[in-house]
Amino acid sequence: MRLGPLLWFGGLAALLVAVEYAVVHRADFGQHPALPPAVAFDLLVTLPALFYFCLVRRYQLPLNTLAAAVGGGLALSHWLLPNADLPLVAWAGRVSAAAEVLTMGYLAVRLRRVLRAYQAGRLQSVDFIENLLAAGQPVLGRLTEAVMTEVALFRYAVLGGWAQAEVGPADIAFSTHQKTGFVAMLAAFGGLSVVEMAAAHLVVGHWYPRVAWLLTGVSGYSLLWLLAHAQAVRCRPVVVSATAVVVRVGLVWRVAIPKAQLSSAMLLTDVPTPTPGLLNAAKLLFTTPNLLLTLAEPQQVRGPYGLQRTVCQLAIYVDEPAALLRQLAQ
């Protein structure tokens, strides 16, 4: 997905909100009766229009996503104009309440479809993320990768400790975390992050309480990512089936390589020299790769939020590289 339109919307929306904030906090704001309706118009009409032209049209999003922009504009209006008795804001609030009820009903129906598709997918595959993406694609379209990445994040972070390894009955699994310091490194990162988060909250909160809470939220989300990634690495090992080798690296990289497309597989003793078309997937395991897979044709490696990489070589780590090589040679 191209980031240009998203960055344009973010920049223009931030500029619009900054201008409205400056106008509302002018010393003579209350002396100009035309200013409050103008500010409300910009937030309730101009902001959704920017959302439509920058994002909905460029990314071909459903029109119902405009409700998010209108809701955001309404929230900003109540924040910047808390005491203003404006018909535009009042009518927007009524429309927003009605739209919220309709949206909840609509989402309930769509969620039911996703759940049914996911249950059907589980009969064919044990891979949670792949089943989730397949179930969400007909309903969410271009939003599937972003939404389902967040769903997978919370699932592995909250329930990952009780989840079983995602390995089919005919698959041969190769773990990627038992013989490295992966778990210890994540635990160290997590502990340091907690200390840093607490210290930053206390220091920044002394002068800027809202900024402190924002930084705490970002740090908390990062900790959630670390926890989810750790559980996903355990649940999603590299597997070899009758026809393919499936490389999965926690919440991040995943690719299924048909055995017929695997040109060679060799042991590594050091990090390979970076070259175009080479992906070192072991970086996110905080270790050195011990296998280099060379592909006969370029393959798409998928990542979170729709990220993709085209690779010709894939450097990976498994706990038993010799056993994996023997399995691929069969």
- What pLDDT sits at residue 99? 52
Name the 3-class secondary structure at 299: strand
Please calculate the CA angle 243-247-251 and round it to the nearest 5 degrees: 140
Residue 111 CA to residue 105 CA, distance in Å, equals: 10
In this structure, what token pair is assigned to residue 68? 């998010």
Please calculate the CA angle 173-177-179 and round it to the nearest 5 degrees: 105
- C-alpha count within 13 angstroms, C-beta hemisphere, residue 187: 4
Burial 253-278 (b: 16+ CB within 10 A, else e): bbbbbeeeebeebeebeeeeeeeeee
pTM value is: 0.72
Residue 325 CA to residue 330 CA, distance in Å, equals: 9
Greatest distance between any 2 Cα atoms in the chain: 83
DSSP 145-176: HHHHHHHHHHHHHHHGGGPPP---TT-EEE-S
- What pLDDT sits at residue 106? 57
- What pLDDT sits at residue 33? 78
Rounded to 5 degrees, φ, ψ at 45 are -120, -55
- pLDDT score of 97 more than 80: no
Residue 19 CA to residue 72 CA, distance in Å, equals: 16
Compute, in degrees rounded to 10, the torsion defined by CA atoms 310, 7, 226, 324: 0
- What pLDDT sits at residue 203? 85
Q: How far from 245 is each of 176, 251, 254, 314, 328, CA to CA, in Å? A: 14, 18, 11, 12, 8
- What pLDDT sits at residue 85? 58
User: What amino acid occupies position 34?
Assistant: A
- What pLDDT sits at residue 293? 95
12-59 confidence digits (pLDDT tens): 999 999 998 888 888 887 788 778 888 888 888 888 899 988 888 888
Write out the E strands in the chain: 172-174, 238-240, 244-249, 253-258, 262-267, 278-280, 291-302, 308-316
Question: DSSP alpha helices (H): ranges in 43-127?
Answer: 47-51, 57-59, 66-80, 87-122
124-171 confidence digits (pLDDT tens): 889 999 999 998 888 777 778 888 899 999 999 998 888 889 999 989
